[in-house]
Structure 1
Amino acid sequence: MPEVVPSSPEQLLQERFGLPGFRPGQREVIDCLMESGGALAVFPTGGGKSLCYQLPALMLEGVTVVVSPLIALMKDQIDYLRGRGIEAARLDSSLTREEAAAVERGLRTGTLRILYVAPERFNNERFLDQLGRARISLFAVDEAHCISQWGHNFRPDYLKLAETSRAIGVERVLALTATATPAVVEDICATFNIDRACAVVTGFHRPNLFLSTVPTAANRRDGVLRERIKERRPGAGIVYVTLQKTAERVAKLLADSGVPAQAYHAGMETDDRTRVQEWWKGSDDAMVVATIAFGMGIDKADVRYVYHYNLPKGLESYSQEIGRAGRDGMPSTVEMLGSLEDVSTLENFVYGDTPDREALHGLVSELAASDATFDVAPRTLSNRHDLRELVLRTALTYLELMGVVKQGTPFYAGYRIKPHVPLPELIGRFNGERAAFVEGIFKRAKFGRSWYTLDLDGADPDQRSRIIRALEYFGEQQLAEVSVTDLRLRFHKLVARPDANALADTLYEQFVRREQAEVERIGDMARLVTYDGCQTNVLLSYFGESPAQPCGHCTWCTTHQPTAFPPHAHAPDIGARVDAAALQKLVRDHPQALATPRRRARLLCGLPSPGLTAAKLTRNPLFASLEDVRFPDVLAWCERSD
């Protein structure tokens, strides 16, 4: 095990990190960890959250485990720490077997100081067993607001982290986030048993940011954005948009106008996203036009401008996104161009994620009829019950927290093998029974143009284990390229005969409450734009601060007049826009995919679901024919037309 370092926090700060002093809140968090065994750090973007676990990791005997959903952040921080002689590593699916084995060895021998892992890693029983045998001196949870069902970025895998931390016997817990309302702060503290006095909130006020609010009609935004960027002094910036297609279109518009601009969104290939990110980080005047997929974990201090082409989905998102400007303390501008047209789009995304009760009842009924131990293919289950995969995983997590099922270690039912040498030569590397066994693997597999596909579903456990060891050997010896397919989630039933009706009702109520909270969050964002008073103070009040006077650096403080959204043209009567006969025929032709009013409303609002996609209804002319209309209005019309 690493020896306890006797140096004081101040000495370590200077000697190991080369920093002259602590930023606001950092020393308080470290003191809470050392004295009380737990802390919550709510620091704004760029406020120095990482140091709150990096420095204690050098003071404590054992390993610090950092849970983060951001692989890019993990890589950057590991490079930084290793550059300072601090042994740090990560465990994720991108590592080779040899790399993962080296990390596990460091965890086992105690030479590792800091281990970064993604939250889904805690569904792996083998990993949990390894942690249970190690000394976990500090368990740090980044993006901790994700554990709160009422936070703005709820992630199902986060809900089980607190229970897991107690099960593996961690000595201290640190939760970290850049955005948390008072209610979410209470939720995090209660979940992780953190003393409320150890919730250190440094404040969200950024006096170097000018909050400009210029709500602009959708048909004028292109011109306004282009002129804003061209008339201002050069500087790196981000333009946030809601849709991927908007990112592509606006980036081209700016580039054609002579502005160095590129698009960034989750629909791009990983290499392309990395290329754009590095291009932007290395420039002092580039504009990246991005969805919310951009910015988390990126360390660029000289961002001079952040534009919101569309309305953000809430005050938490807005605060986090504008927080990426001016992290060097220099004056920077954040400008809001959103309009009322954006409200319907944002709300419809929320409504599109809410499953209908019938889908949830079908899911629970299938699980109730399963054996005591069973496995599911998430994509297949998602398609069968018309539940998006994230919604499905959320429902399964709810059922686990309700004590109905318990998830085991996920596994893969399929493998793909691409030999690097002729098959007879590969088999010839082995003798006797081993050669016959290897030959049997390839006889069992199906051959395509260059890949063998191997289905292990239903294989004898001992045989399956031996086949997997053989495939791993092929990869280690460079005899073949091996990849996994067909993810399966394994579960154990804790209730032999669950009440499907009652569980479906409870799950549906959970999703509806979540939906209402998200819609209210969008409303808070719209109210900020038109508020008759200091807009900065509205933002600060939302996060629990009590500013004494107007900020002096927002649009209202400059004009003393509230801004107003341009009039929003009301959509015409739904009945006049929908070919009712065509819709009725579609329902007759696709009775399952369009079985409920909610599913038909999804079709008309252009909200894809597994059922609509499988039935190829996203290509139908009726799909997205009412994408500019609020989902509740379309749903009500569909219910009346039933």
Structure 2
Amino acid sequence: MAPSPSNDDEFGLDSDDDADLLALADGIETHGTKRKSAGDHGPPSKRVALDFPCAEKALAHIFGYKAFQLKQKQVISRILGGDSATVVFPTGGGKSLCYQIPAIVFTEVDSGSRRQGEGGITLVVSPLIALMKDQVDALVRRGVKAATFDSSKTREEYLHTCEMLRNGELKILYCAPERLNNEGFVEQMKYVRGGIRLLAVDEAHCISEWGHSFRPDYLKIARFSREINAERVVCLTATAAPRVASDICRAFNIDEKEGLFRTSTYRPNLQLLAESGKTKKELYPRLFAFLKRNSGATIVYVTLQKQTEELAAELRSKGFKARSFHAGMDTATKTQLQEEFMREEDLVIVATIAFGMGIDKANIRNVIHFNIPSSLESYSQEIGRAGRDGKLSKCMFYLCGEDLHLREMFARGDLPSRNSLRGLLQDIFHSTNISLPVGGEFRTSHYQQERDFDIRSTTLKNIYAQLELTHNLIRATTPVYTKYSYQVGPTYNSVLASDKSTAAAAINKYGKKARTWYSIDVDSYTLKSLRTDIVRKLNDLDAAGIITLKPEHVQNTYKIIQPLPKTGPALENYVEQIYEVMEKREQEALDRTDQMLKLITDNTCFSRALAQHFGDDLPGGMTECGHCTFCMTKTSVVQQLPPPVKFNFPAFKAVLAQIPDRDDARFLARIAFGITSPRAAKLKLSKHPIFGSMADHSFMGLLRAFSRECANTKDN
């Protein structure tokens, strides 16, 4: 199957797979199980409750557990009774069983009148391809028919999954939220044989705009659940403050009083510790001493990729067995490191937050934060990986004034200037697009827009999500490739010569050869009407090993839902509304870091303050845990701030001299502060001496200074 066109480089389907999916939907209808779409009627009536003993049998016989833990039994009972639920269990709390057990019960024993193969499926939406694969592998080993739809699948594997869906054999299907932009997939899910018995939403805190990991594609899941007429929904997360949990329940019409299941976040075997220093170098000896006193498997979290390598090298020089891990490493290396960590008892992994998801190691003895976590939610999730065996484990947080720069660097990086946003909306509401009728479609390149308007990928997605979900102007549909390149094998010419299809003839005639690669423009005027047939034929040739296919040039596609703004004032109104939301999100990112600092600098028990953030408290009316840094010292940790600096006029002038344009003060401030962006990458400024030359200054102070300079230039 062709690689994904998604910007995440993991998920999605090319639009030309839609034909396969729609054909599958047609095939499903022939079984006489075509269901009404959500638009045909209101929410489904409450289903007949299923016997809970079936769930207990599945727990014992398939998963090998003697009893349910935490509130798993209550959640599963509610789901089997036909209702939806929101589940907030700590990391390692067994959330996945809350949908895996019902999925098995639905298809094995159902008191309703269902024929063979009519058991339906559980659809799981999860953001991480590695976790999906791990869960599917584990389920298949236990004899449960599960699969994923992801871009790593071969075309044969993909078609086999479709066949299992058609035959009603599949119990659990995993997909990424980005796949919900694929029209063919949405249509396919509407007509799955036996229906979508349960929609499970993993990492559900991503739904909430107030959450620490908001992802715009998650906002579309609630709409999707209505469109596919899912019988019930379960939303799962390890990190949801009360406001976020309420957002999740509201999005899926889940009764918050009856359907929200939350367990205590307090883990008595985790000792929360913190120390403060002026610089990271000052804290190095303390880290070394801590690790000598506290042996065992350890994760040290840092913020930047280069820090993982530098600190791991320092640790090795002191005799520790240490490795670095970050998202920039190749998949094979990361897999090898994860496997090594699972085996070893004394390995120290210095990592960015890319490490930890799916690491189910029970005896991690230490989790250390060498930089400030982005939020209390992130901190809670990361320390939750320690001590799952119930034994004492230590969670150390080293704080210093240098963290403030990193904190601002990440919080300030996503907000573009108003001019950038205005330019983007002018591009989206171009005269060609506004002349299209409602229902018409336009294509654009996100990659090009990022570079043209200096807007990061995640931010660009958020802007499009606002236009789609808040303002209801457009709707994302299936991304497409506009160019297909391929290398041919020895049988290519003979296969094409014997193939009498129109698509094969078009490929033979219009495929242009360079040195070693052929290419064909499927969007050319001549081939446009044959596009779907040509792409399917290319995929078939690739699957058969006759060619090696490389799709290129992703175009994001949007359908117009209502007329686009045609005047300057109307466009400006959208600029102000969207910018206001983005400014709020920037401030919230800063506020989340303040909450993290407050946890350890207040005169209060760390464990209790953390529990109260999540709407919880210490058990048994306890007011203190007795073993965190505050409880042991009765003294708050004092953040040691760096001394104030004088404004660096030479560095300021050097930035202005290197960048003659005065069109964007925020861009100039970012360069001085050391925040990269698409425009900075395009101008190759990240390695220039001016980049980060004023990193010890306040970002807002820099922004004011560069704004004055831009205004003066404009006035003159």
TM-score, normalization by structure 2: 0.85
Asked if structure 2 preserves the Cα contact closer than 8 Å seen for 1:73 and 1:298, the reply is no
Residue of structure 1 in register with 2:522 after alignment: 456
- When the two structures are aligned, how many residues end up with a matched partner? 632
Counterparts in 2 of 1:436 and 1:407: CA distance versus 1, 3 Å: closer
1:518 aligned onto 2:589: yes
Q: Deviations over 1:31-76 (max 9, x none)?
A: 2223352101100000000000000111223100001011111111
Q: Deviations over 1:1-30 (max 9, x none)?
A: 999985432222212221111111111111
Matches within 5 A, 1:484-633: 484-498=551-565, 499-547=570-618, 548=621, 549-570=623-644, 572-580=645-653, 582-588=654-660, 591=661, 595-633=663-701
CA distance in 2 between partners of 1:248 and 1:458 (Å):
48
CA distance in 2 between partners of 1:78 and 1:293 (Å):
21
Letter in 1 for 2:646: D
Residue of structure 1 in register with 2:489 after alignment: 420
Q: Deviations over 1:286-328 (max 9, x none)?
A: 1111111111122111111101111111111100000000011
Runs of 5+ unmatched residues, structure 2: 1-30, 34-47, 107-118, 711-716
Residue of structure 2 in register with 1:634 after alignment: 702
Asked if structure 2 preserves the Cα contact closer than 8 Å seen for 1:125 and 1:409, the reply is yes
Letter in 2 for 1:416: S
Residue of structure 1 in register with 2:290 after alignment: 228
Counterparts in 2 of 1:408 and 1:54: CA distance versus 1, 3 Å: same
Asked if structure 1 preserves the Cα contact closer than 8 Å seen for 2:374 and 2:593, the reply is yes
Matches within 5 A, 1:34-49: 34-35=80-81, 37-49=83-95
CA distance in 2 between partners of 1:43 and 1:324 (Å):
13
1:289 aligned onto 2:350: yes
Residue of structure 1 in register with 2:404 after alignment: 343
Letter in 2 for 1:481: T
How much has 1:434 moved relative to structure 2? 7.1
CA distance in 2 between partners of 1:398 and 1:84 (Å):
42
User: Could you say what the CA RMSD is over the residues aligned between the two structures, in angstroms?
Assistant: 2.1
Q: Deviations over 1:310-349 (max 9, x none)?
A: 1111111100000000011111111011212212212221
CA distance in 1 between partners of 2:345 and 2:501 (Å):
65
SS at match of 2:385: coil
Asked if structure 1 preserves the Cα contact closer than 8 Å seen for 2:103 and 2:122, the reply is yes
Runs of 4+ in 1 over 4 A off after TM superposition: 1-7, 422-436
Residue of structure 2 in register with 1:137 after alignment: 197
CA distance in 1 between partners of 2:370 and 2:495 (Å):
57
Q: Deviations over 1:80-123 (max 9, x none)?
A: 11121111110001111111111112222211100010110111
Residue of structure 2 in register with 1:62 after alignment: 120
Counterparts in 2 of 1:192 and 1:361: CA distance versus 1, 3 Å: same
CA distance in 1 between partners of 2:519 and 2:558 (Å):
26
2:393 to 332, 354, 361: 332
Higher mean Cα deviation, 551-560 or 144-153? 551-560
Residue of structure 1 in register with 2:241 after alignment: 181
Counterparts in 2 of 1:4 and 1:102: CA distance versus 1, 3 Å: farther
CA distance in 2 between partners of 1:432 and 1:379 (Å):
35
SS at match of 1:412: strand
How much has 1:563 moved relative to structure 2? 1.6
CA distance in 1 between partners of 2:177 and 2:317 (Å):
42
Asked if structure 2 preserves the Cα contact closer than 8 Å seen for 1:108 and 1:130, the reply is no
Residue of structure 2 in register with 1:477 after alignment: 544
Letter in 1 for 2:658: L
SS at match of 1:245: helix
SS at match of 2:447: helix
Matches within 5 A, 1:383-398: 383-398=451-466
Question: Alignment identity in percent?
Answer: 39
Residue of structure 2 in register with 1:29 after alignment: 75
Letter in 1 for 2:88: V
Q: Deviations over 1:157-199 (max 9, x none)?
A: 1011001101110000000000000100110000111110211
Asked if structure 1 preserves the Cα contact closer than 8 Å seen for 2:321 and 2:346, the reply is yes
CA distance in 1 between partners of 2:563 and 2:504 (Å):
45
Asked if structure 2 preserves the Cα contact closer than 8 Å seen for 1:209 and 1:325, the reply is yes
1:126 to 176, 184, 187: 184
TM-score, normalization by structure 1: 0.94
Asked if structure 1 preserves the Cα contact closer than 8 Å seen for 2:503 and 2:537, the reply is no
Asked if structure 1 preserves the Cα contact closer than 8 Å seen for 2:376 and 2:610, the reply is yes
Residue of structure 2 in register with 1:447 after alignment: 514
Higher mean Cα deviation, 559-568 or 207-216? 559-568
CA distance in 2 between partners of 1:172 and 1:260 (Å):
48
SS at match of 2:62: helix
